[in-house]
Structure 1
């Protein structure tokens, strides 16, 4: 699977708040075996996957990651496209997409969710 290196960053008119209601995993914590990531909807099997990143108010870029599908739906809404990846791939994906940090199980403001007003 291709993770969309070339087109992973989008310009967001609305910045997410500096704290999305979640904390990074502690150094001792390991991600679960399977992790769910918000992504752009793909319409063609040959289309690369583009992860959705969020620019935080402090200027850093966050890659959102969710420990369960239920957490993703709760944090992003039920119309959010997503991909499932191995938890161990998160550091590589973070590096490849250029995110400054990974934010786990975040609550995205309702006006920034897919199909709920802002997009």
Structure 2
């Protein structure tokens, strides 16, 4: 990733990615990330380059966590995801509503639980 240019004496702000999460915490106490099951059976870790892109892609009710760019690779490895997707737009039925969780969240939890048993690392959150 390109590093923005700085003027002398200016302190650079760290680059942050926004990751969708689900309510609650993983067994390790970290926020539980919302991995997205893909049609081919793989799990994707959605990453958003700006908060407004997360809102556009997931809706304004989506829980999220911010992760420093320097930690994203470790978060990806620890998540159990097979691939990362950047600034993806979720379908309407996969978004959080005012009083509802996304359609299929139970299926999502089952898919993640099944994938955790198959994955080498079983940590799913930061």
Structure 1 and Structure 2 fold alike (TM over 0.5): yes
Structure possessing the higher radius of gyration over alpha carbons: 2
Runs of 4+, deviation exceeding 3 Å: 29-32
Bigger share in strand: 2
Describe the superposition over 1:57-86 as per-residue Cα deviations: whole angstroms up to 9, x where unpaired: 011110000000000000000000001110
Bigger share in helix: 2
Partner Cα separation in structure 1 for residue 30 and residue 80 of structure 2: 16
Ranked by relative contact order (alpha carbons within 8 Å, sequence separation 6 or more), the top structure is 1
Aligned residues: 89
Q: Structure 1 residue 106 and structure 2 residue 88: aligned?
A: yes
Unaligned stretches of 5+ in structure 1?
A: 1-28
Partner Cα separation in structure 1 for residue 78 and residue 22 of structure 2: 16
Instruction: Please name the residue that 2:65 is paired with.
Output: 83
Unaligned stretches of 5+ in structure 2?
A: 4-13, 106-126
TM-score by length of 1: 0.66
